[in-house]
Chains A and B, each alone.
Chain A
Amino acid sequence: MSERDVDAELVSRVQAGDKQAFDLLVIKYQRKIMRLLSRMIRDPAEIEDVAQEAFIKAYRALPQFRGDSAFYTWLYRIAINTARNWLAVNKRAPSTPSGFENEEGETFNESDVLTDGSNPESEMASRQIAETVNKAINDLPEELRNAIVMREIDGMSYEDIAESMNCPIGTVRSRIFRAREAIATRLRPLLGDTGSRRW
């Protein structure tokens, strides 16, 4: 099962009437979509409005989504069209006139985006988060660090990581979870999450 399959399972749940599954897709892709929109719209509040509209359009159009493309590719196009419509209605020119016209969502590189839409507070918060994650990664034991890097940066499956690290898949599962939890423990104070959870 790939990440695309994970999205497909959530999409099928939404198509079957489970709205909560759509929340998970929003949480997963909101950062990418907001970052994408920041290339076209400068005001952070307006970016958030357009992002919300794009997600609602996606929800309404989800019965027509058949999975021919990845969910994010499809969502990317909806977000671009929503931003274009918004710019047309508000008679604005895109903050960056080119660069996204012919690009597919799957090949879009978020690191190329501009940061004009960010305000100093959010810039500071973003920098804090990035530094915290980097520091937490560096402080991890080597086997945990290698496992999370292979998974998150290299995009390797659990089977491939197990073969590469010469250990059972259960160990890979454990290492990646422990790495994530170690980083999350440091991140939660920055996010206003105390980490007290009840299941």
Chain B
Amino acid sequence: MKEQPITPQASTGLLHEVAASEPVTLTSNEVSVTISAWMDGDTQTSLPSELFTASGHATWQVYHLIGDTLRTPELALSTQANLSQRVAQALVAEPALSASAPVQAARHNSPIDVSPTLTVPVESPGLTPALAEARKLAPLSKLLRRVVWPSVAMAAAVASVVWVAKPLFVPELSAPSAQTANVNVQSPVATNLETSAMRDYVTAHRQISGPSNVRPASFGASR
């Protein structure tokens, strides 16, 4: 009997394109050929949608069992069918990983740590619907708590420090030392003080108010 080479067109490559215009039912063999080739990394085969059916899972499972058994007879294990079912059931309560930010926030909530350090999980992996709902709402409040409020507080603190310390750093508003008095420093503030009337006013103001808005405390003076 002459061998018939199987091309991707004969399996599903073109069948997928045909499926866009008219419904095509793949035979069991065609799907299995595609699954077999795709799991081996065949570059000419695209991921078959039938892989996500119960039959596709069964084919995927038995083909991988064959490969594992050929490579390592110790892996000839047949009793794990319910493990994948258990995992699938547990994942029903998990949110789909469609967006990274909410998932990361949810992960931050999770007691489970995947880092190399030793950690102790305190909660079973399954989630109740209420917890799942709370997890959906968590990102917004977390964003406010972790990003917005600290940023506002930090900005307010910086503004306060600048407002208080500004006169100390601006030469014209701070105490004039002997050195700075002799040197004509051109600063942005000085350019505003061009008129003699304004200069006289500022000089008089300095004499009354002192060198700075912030005066050093002197506890001994009151005694």
Contact = CB atoms under 8 A, between A and B. Distances in A.
Interface of A: 1-3, 5-6, 9, 14-24, 26-28, 30-32, 34-35, 48, 51-53, 55-64, 77-78, 81, 84-85, 88-89, 110-111, 113, 115, 122, 125-127, 129-130, 133, 137, 148-149, 151-153, 157-158, 167-171, 173-177, 180-181, 183-184, 187-188, 190-193, 197-199
B150 interface: no
B66 A133 contact: yes
B66 A1 contact: no
10 contacts: A1-B42, A9-B47, A53-B112, A57-B125, A59-B97, A63-B107, A85-B121, A129-B78, A187-B66, A198-B28
B42 A174 contact: no
Contacts of A31: 64-65, 68, 75, 77, 80
B51 to A, nearest CB: 7
**Residue of A5, A22, A27, A180 with most partner-chain B CB within 10 A:** A27
B62 A113 contact: no
B68 to A, nearest CB: 5
Contacts of A32: 68, 75
Main secondary structure of the interface of A (DSSP, over half): helix
B96 A173 contact: no
B125 to A, nearest CB: 4
Given A35-B77, A125-B79, A126-B78, A27 B61 contact: yes
B36 A180 contact: yes
A188 B77 contact: no
Interface stretch (B81-89, B138-146, B180-188): B81-89
Contact of B77 (A22, A34, A58): A34
Given A27-B84, A31-B80, 10 more contacts: A56-B90, A81-B116, A111-B73, A122-B77, A125-B77, A158-B40, A174-B6, A177-B6, A177-B36, A187-B62
A171 B4 CA distance: 7
A199 B27 CA distance: 7
Given A23-B57, A199-B25, A30 B44 contact: no
Contacts of A23: 57, 84, 87-88
Given A16-B97, A77-B116, A191-B62, A26 B84 contact: yes
Contacts of B84: 23, 26-27, 30
Contacts of A3: 40-41
Contacts of B83: 26, 30, 34, 48, 51-52
B168 interface: no
B92 to A, nearest CB: 8
Contact of A110 (B50, B75, B87, B103): B75
B70 A6 contact: no
Nearest to B77: A31
B223 interface: no
A90 B3 CA distance: 58
Nearest to A113: B74
Given A6-B41, A133-B76, A199 B60 contact: no
Nearest to B79: A122
A31 B79 CA distance: 9
Contacts of B202: none
B120 A89 contact: yes
The 3 closest A-B pairs by CB, nearest first: A170-B5, A17-B98, A17-B96
B160 interface: no
Contacts of A9: 47
A107 B190 CA distance: 73
Contacts of B82: 48
Given A23-B84, A129-B76, A130-B69, A53 B97 contact: no
A30 B81 CA distance: 9
